[in-house]
A and B are shown apart, each in its own frame.
Chain A
Amino acid sequence: MKLELQGITKAFGDFVANDSIDLVVEPGTVHTLLGENGAGKSTLMNVLFGLYEPTAGRILIDGEPVAFRGPGDAMAHGIGMVHQHFMLVPVFTVAENVALGDERTRAAGILDLEQTRRAVREVSERYGFNVDPDALVEDLPVGVQQRVEIIKALVRKADLLILDEPTAVLTPRETDELIDIIGQLKAAGTAIIFISHKLREVKAVSDTITVIRRGKVVGTADPGADATELASLMVGRAVDLSLGRQHSDGGDVSLEIRDLTVIDELGVPVLDHVDLDVRKGEILAVAGVQGNGQTELVEAIMGLTERTSGSIRLEGRELLGRSVKEIINSGVGYVPEDRSTDGVIGSFSIADNLVLNRYDRAPVAKGLALKPAFIAENAEEKVREFDIRTPSAQNTASTLSGGNQQKVVLAREFSRDLQLFIAAQPTRGVDVGSIEFLHRRILAERDKDIPVIVVSTELDEVAELGDRIAVLFHGRLMGIVPGNTSRDVLGLMMAGSTAEEALAEAGRSGRATTDSDEPQLPGGIA
């Protein structure tokens, strides 16, 4: 199937999310849409999938103009989409999920699951997916769940597959497997639209790369192009890809975590006897695939979790069992991983958000009363210092972009004297320009001799910032390795190998550490 988008424009009021975008996707090729968060990739795909009606422009399939009134129309025309967040019912089997919305029936409307099962098996065998149609989806690893989504599209005879940020939730190994699958689909004649901002993968899978910035196509690139070049095209200015940072061995141990265990509501340990030390003036990066205990580790330190045991000592003082306020007041700075839920209050002004955790102490408050003059003054100062892009600090935080919201959080935390700084996913959903800024600020904090913990699922960010890297898998610490450990080793550890096993395996292929010459990209874009 050959797909053409001609002059697609999608406006929301006076905000133009897509500005006359032209795109041609040939059958049997992978066409990548590269762009930062908020560049308009998702809007474009939602137009293509019938979720939005374009303001102007038209969609042609094999030269015929089509109009989609909803996803059903798009699917009927052979377009399938694998969303970033899977649309699967966890308690259903694979076959039931595939059947959902496209149920085959026998006489009198009785559900014929056997037909679907057969279809799943057929597709699974053809592409070597290795998916059992009767397995419960909730029992499957994330990578396999993604294959179920792909099967769903293929069983509906999709000739064009949209993969929206498909690798965001995958381990490095699962990513490699996905790249293989994409290759097979391509060979079978399926056209693929691949959406990503990770340059490494983009270079590996693409036949054509279209770069989108601020709703416009700013150019096409050859997959062979240099990573720095692609990044610059995506951001719209030259990007300095290396922070030029110095490795730090750190000073005295400041934070000691011993035997830390966190149990969830069901009594299952989500963090299992973890021991960690963090030194003054070093960044300990905590790596792992989402949901392997990183969130729990950080929340335990912040006093946000119940059902914890073990010990967390900061400068010899026990933190476990203290209230969140006591922990904050003892000098722990915290950037939560879910910014919009935990980091800022969207309906509060930027100024109020900048004092969110010190509103009750001098100089922000005097006795029981707030000091609005100080709050306003402080806001002016921080907006300037952290380059928070807003017409006024009295605007609500919800009017800010993700990157600017994150600057608010960082500005707030750095306005206190810190003994420990924890940043969880500090650059998730943040544009490349801000990433650079945020990373520099975090490094600057380390250089003030403060112990720093950075939790990230982005290997590049971990490698970029970490002086040492701790890897968590299923709540257990797989080991702590030096900051220059290769991606292969980290990938193995994130999939459950201990540091020793991973080093041994990688050692056989002679790739235990990175060459220092390899350019390091700011986390998240490489």
Chain B
Amino acid sequence: MSSPTRTPLQRLRRSGALVSVLAILASFIVGGLLIAFTDKATTAAAGYFFARPTDMLAAAWDAVAGAYAAMFRGAVFNYDATSFVGMVHPLTETLTAATPLLTAALGVAIAFRAGLFNIGAQGQLILGAIFSTWVGFTLELAWPLHLLLVVLGALLGGALWGGIVGWLKARTGAHEVILTIMLNYVALNLLGYLLNNALQREGSTNPVSPVVNASAQYPLLLGSDFRLHLGFLVAVAATAFAWWLMNRSTLGFEIRAVGANRAAARTSGIDTFKVTVLAMVIAGALAGLSGAAQVNGTEKFLSESIAASIGFDAITVALLGRSNPIGVFFAALLFGAFRAGGVTMQIATGTPIDIVLVVQSLIVLFIAAPPLVRAMFGLNDRREKKSKKPKRAAGAPATVGGDQ
């Protein structure tokens, strides 16, 4: 029974991109409700809601609109600023914050496409950061060469950490979720140990590394008024590479085949061992690149909080981008904007920055349940509701990797 050709509208309804957009929209709506309910003026007006309901609604609107406007001013364009620099500064902050998220998320996405649920971007990023720090302050080299070595070091560190997972998975069948979670702990504690020993700044009692040499840093792109650095362009190049790899290369074909149907891939002569290891090596290398962006781009030295929550946010970004490099690019920009805008929102309106976390988490929740999102926006077609046959496999990697 071949299904009849679908109209463009039907195809759009079923498309993953639409679900992503709707998930973001739904999360903002729920986030807005939370802002309203926690706003003092709104709760005060709610006391006499039945006497003058408009008071409460107006207060709620003011609170939500104010908070989101502040977020916009902090993340995209500050229309209240007096200088041009002040106006565009938020956008560059968003790009800066998006840089490490982007490469780490690309790594997670590629692993997803290979059918591997890579929770280990955090650990891979830390290893990349350790390598790039060490290369960054121990060597004395000229600028482009030194930076190049730093980038190679970051790639290598991440690749190593990812490769261990790939090898263990392929050789022993150990589950990659367990492996990556455990290796995250190993990486974090390794970092703590090194910062108190080999990598500790001379004369310091704090667990911080020396500042990396100027020749090992990503140069600033827009002068000293902005933090945006060359690492962003490297991340853009990594996006292009990831797109080519997944859509145009034979290795990407193998990765997608193994992720979509391991048995058929094997029957077609694809070496699933090699593909599993390589997918994790590439995933790790990309996450390692985020380490270089953190150390040699924004922070200039290594500390225990170097990875912040980037490695975990990267999973969300990869999910939101539906494991597609282009999608991941825009998802990373959105999350960079959350990061940049959340702070401004808290300062300007007193709305707790936790709202941003809630919105981020809701996005994941909605993306994990496409029928829920479609139902909220009344887009479910009846075919899917009534059919008893599941249309898509329920496994997480299959879901995130299934969309092309």
Contacts and interface: CB of A to CB of B under 8 A. Distances in A.
Interface of A: 12-15, 17, 38, 51-52, 302, 304, 323-329, 334, 336, 338, 341-348, 352, 356-357, 359-360, 365, 368-370, 372, 389-391, 399-401, 404
Interface in B346-404: 381-384, 386-388, 402, 404
B167 interface: no
A324 B274 CA distance: 14
A347 B384 CA distance: 18
B253 A352 contact: yes
A357 B260 contact: no
B1 interface: yes
B267 A345 contact: no
A336 B268 CA distance: 10
15 contacts: A12-B383, A12-B386, A13-B383, A13-B387, A14-B4, A14-B383, A15-B383, A38-B1, A304-B267, A325-B269, A334-B267, A341-B261, A345-B261, A346-B260, A399-B2
Nearest to A404: B2
Contact of A324 (B1, B4, B249, B267): B267
Interface string B241-261: 000000011110110110011
A345 B2 contact: no
B263 interface: yes
A369 B250 contact: yes
B266 interface: yes
A16 to B, nearest CB: 10
A400 B1 CA distance: 8
A345 B264 contact: yes
Nearest to A401: B2
A324 B268 CA distance: 7
**What 10 A-B pairs are tightest by C-beta distance, nearest first?**
A13-B383, A325-B269, A357-B268, A324-B269, A345-B261, A342-B267, A360-B250, A328-B269, A356-B268, A347-B260
Nearest to B268: A357
Contacts of B264: 341-345, 356
A147 to B, nearest CB: 29
A372 B2 contact: no
Given A12-B387, A346-B261, A370 B267 contact: no
A390 B251 contact: no
A52 to B, nearest CB: 7
Contacts of A329: 269
Contacts of A347: 260-261, 402, 404
A242 B204 CA distance: 90
Contacts of A365: 250
B114 to A, nearest CB: 13
B5 interface: yes
Contacts of B82: none
A345 B265 contact: yes
B260 A400 contact: no
B172 interface: no
Contacts of B248: 369-370, 372
B269 A323 contact: yes
Contact of A368 (B249, B257, B260, B384): B249
Interface string B1-20: 11111000000000000000
Nearest to A302: B267
A376 B264 CA distance: 21
B250 A368 contact: yes
Contacts of B387: 12-13
Contacts of B1: 15, 17, 38, 401
B271 A325 contact: yes
Interface in B9-62: none
Contacts of B402: 347
B2, B251, B269, B387 interface centre (most CB from chain A within 10 Å)? B269
Contacts of A336: 267
Chain B interface residue bracket vs A: 20 to 34
B276 to A, nearest CB: 16
A391 B253 contact: no
Contacts of B249: 368-370
Nearest to A53: B386
B243 to A, nearest CB: 13
A15 to B, nearest CB: 6
Interface string B112-140: 00000000000000000000000000000
A13 B381 contact: yes
B253, B260, B268, B384 interface centre (most CB from chain A within 10 Å)? B268
Contacts of A369: 248-250
Nearest to B381: A13
A283 B267 CA distance: 22
B274 to A, nearest CB: 10
B253, B267, B402 interface centre (most CB from chain A within 10 Å)? B267
Contact of B2 (A12, A304, A325, A389): A389
B383 to A, nearest CB: 3
Contacts of A341: 261, 263-264
Contact of B268 (A13, A328, A368): A328
A124 B266 CA distance: 46
A357 B404 CA distance: 20
A343 B260 contact: no
Interface string B219-255: 0000000000000000000000000000011110110
Contacts of A360: 250, 253-254
B13 to A, nearest CB: 12
Contacts of A13: 381-384, 386-387
A52 B388 contact: yes
Contacts of B384: 13
B81 to A, nearest CB: 46
A402 to B, nearest CB: 10
Contacts of A404: 2
Given A12-B383, A348-B260, A357-B269, 13 more contacts: A13-B381, A13-B383, A13-B387, A51-B388, A304-B266, A324-B267, A325-B269, A334-B267, A341-B263, A345-B264, A352-B253, A370-B250, A390-B2
A348 B267 contact: no
B261 A15 contact: no
A400 B3 CA distance: 8
A372 B249 CA distance: 10
B250 A359 contact: yes
A348 B246 CA distance: 13
Contacts of A357: 268-269
B5 A391 contact: yes
A329 B270 CA distance: 12
B5 to A, nearest CB: 5
Interface in B265-321: 265-271
A391 B11 CA distance: 14
Contacts of B261: 341, 344-347
Given A14-B383, A356-B257, A324 B266 contact: yes
A256 B382 CA distance: 56
Contacts of A326: 269
Contacts of A327: 269
Nearest to A357: B268
A370 B245 CA distance: 10
B250, B271, B387 interface centre (most CB from chain A within 10 Å)? B250
Contacts of B388: 51-52
